[in-house]
């Protein structure tokens, strides 16, 4: 493990939670309709798109019946990951539905379920009809995959769940909307930069792999010591599962990170080690280059969050290792022959000229 890949503890953590009463009732299910313990609502693109696959797989392996609704159409998505792996979920017994409207697809098919995991909503407008569906099918808990991106930039790191947020951002408004509901308990998760195999978004590591395997210099924003959290999808999934039907998670928000942080420079070195190639790197002034270079995959600042609340309330701990994860993602990179793609480094060249590298 690299020395810069360091854990920064925060001793100021204070936790508060209130119990949310569970309303129990008998349920008679229509045999013509889907029966499930829960519904997973999944987005079709971006860094969160593989959460539905990993969560549904883990739950089905534990004997929990899942209905997975995925935004988009199967014929358009089935050749790309993670959706190309959905037949595995079906073999485990999951019901998978594709459409552009979760409400139209699910309202007449699911009569009762205990919980919903929403990895789809990006605004109150998109969440409102899903809340109506939740009330219709008797949901007791609504779990929402939010984002740590709503935290306001701060020199005090890592972020805690009660740190200031951009309260008018659509995601933070969605959190507050869900937490204000009276018909079910809500739980929100704030990951940072989700990584793992089968992701629809691989730029967090491909940025380094693309340049290192081709002997190109890797541009890093000066000074390269900015700390970042990388959240492995399996850690997030374990946190979600530990929260389901757990009163300690009701009306709570959890940072979903590993609790370990790495600098930009150390991440570049780790990728170089995994690639078994020398690292050629240069630092650039991001302020001077903001209009000409937009490819760097991370915010140009310290961006970390402390998951200690989940450790204390849920007895959760990270079970992943970043060095091993990077090695697995590089193996996937090679298996997809990304090292043989034709890539333009035009922006890199412009950056070198501006920075006189």
Q: What is the pLDDT of residue 31?
A: 28
The model's pLDDT over 215-255, given as tens digits with 9 standing for 90+, comes to 999 999 999 999 999 999 999 999 999 999 999 999 999 99
pLDDT interval class at 107 (50, 70, 90): confident
Q: Which burial class, exposed, middle or buried, applies to 7 when counting CB atoms under 10 A from its CB (0-12, 13-18, 19+)?
A: exposed
Q: What is the pLDDT of residue 11?
A: 29
What is the CATH code of the structural domain delimited by 203-227+261-304+321-355? 3.90.25.10
Contacts 24+ apart (CB under 8 A), 56-59: 56/89, 56/94, 57/88, 57/89, 57/92, 58/237, 58/238, 58/241, 59/241
Is 352's pLDDT higher than 50?
yes
pLDDT interval class at 355 (50, 70, 90): confident
Q: What is the pLDDT of residue 144?
A: 98
The model's pLDDT over 296-317, given as tens digits with 9 standing for 90+, comes to 999 999 999 999 999 999 999 9
What's the pTM? 0.88
Q: Which burial class, exposed, middle or buried, applies to 63 when counting CB atoms under 10 A from its CB (0-12, 13-18, 19+)?
A: exposed
Q: What is the pLDDT of residue 36?
A: 58
Q: What percent of the chain has pLDDT over 90?
A: 82
What gap in Å lies between CA 284 and CA 41, rounded to an integer? 40
Q: What is the pLDDT of residue 13?
A: 26
Mean pLDDT of 56-72: 94
Which residues in the chain are classed under CATH 3.40.50.720?
38-196+231-256
- Tokens in use for 220? 């890093």
Mean pLDDT score across all residues of the chain: 89
Q: Which burial class, exposed, middle or buried, applies to 353 when counting CB atoms under 10 A from its CB (0-12, 13-18, 19+)?
A: exposed
192 and 260 in contact (C-beta within 8 Å)?
Answer: no
Mean pLDDT of 28-35: 34
Nearest CA among 224, 123, 137, 226 for reference residue 178 = 123
Fold (topology level) of 38-196+231-256 = Rossmann fold (3.40.50)
What gap in Å lies between CA 263 and CA 161, rounded to an integer? 22
The model's pLDDT over 254-312, given as tens digits with 9 standing for 90+, comes to 999 988 899 999 999 999 999 999 999 999 998 887 777 899 999 999 999 999 999 99
- Tokens in use for 126? 């998109």
The model's pLDDT over 170-208, given as tens digits with 9 standing for 90+, comes to 999 999 999 999 999 999 999 999 999 999 999 999 999
Is 12's pLDDT higher than 70?
no
Which residues in the chain are classed under CATH 3.90.25.10?
203-227+261-304+321-355
pLDDT interval class at 10 (50, 70, 90): very low
């Amino acid at each position: 493990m690299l020395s810069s890949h360091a854990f920064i503890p925060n001793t100021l953590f204070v936790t508060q939670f209130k119990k949310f009463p569970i309303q129990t009732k008998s349920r008679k299910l229509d045999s013509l309709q889907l029966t499930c313990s829960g519904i997973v609502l999944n987005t079709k693109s971006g860094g969160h798109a593989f959460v539905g696959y990993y969560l549904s797989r883990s739950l089905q392996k534990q004997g929990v019946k899942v209905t997975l609704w995925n935004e988009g159409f199967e014929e358009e998505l089935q050749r790309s990951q993670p959706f190309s792996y959905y037949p595995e979920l079906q073999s485990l017994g999951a019901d998978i539905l594709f459409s552009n409207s979760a409400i139209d697809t699910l309202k007449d098919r699911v009569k009762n379920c205990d919980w919903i995991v929403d990895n789809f909503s990006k605004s109150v407008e998109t969440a409102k009809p899903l809340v109506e569906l939740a009330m219709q099918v008797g949901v007791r808990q609504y779990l929402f995959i939010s984002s740590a991106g709503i935290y306001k930039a701060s020199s005090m790191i890592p972020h805690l769940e009660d740190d200031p947020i951009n309260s008018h951002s659509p995601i933070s408004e969605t959190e507050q909307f869900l937490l204000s509901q009276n018909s079910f308990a809500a739980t929100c998760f704030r990951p940072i930069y989700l990584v793992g195999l089968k992701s629809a978004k691989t730029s967090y590591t491909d940025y380094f792999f693309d340049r290192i395997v081709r002997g190109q210099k890797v541009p890093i924003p000066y000074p390269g010591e900015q700390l970042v959290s990388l959240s492995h999808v399996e850690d997030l999934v374990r946190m979600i599962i530990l929260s389901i039907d757990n009163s300690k998670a009701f009306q709570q928000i959890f940072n979903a990170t590993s609790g370990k942080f790495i600098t930009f420079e150390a991440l570049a070195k780790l990728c170089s080690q995994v690639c078994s190639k020398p690292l050629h790197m240069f630092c650039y002034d991001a302020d001077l280059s903001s209009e000409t270079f937009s490819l760097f995959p991370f915010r140009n600042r310290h961006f970390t969050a402390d998951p200690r609340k989940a450790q204390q309330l849920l007895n959760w701990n990270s079970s992943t290792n970043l060095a091993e994860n990077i090695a697995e993602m590089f193996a996937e990179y090679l298996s997809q022959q990304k090292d043989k793609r034709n890539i333009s480094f035009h922006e890199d060249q412009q950056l070198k000229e501006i920075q006189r590298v």
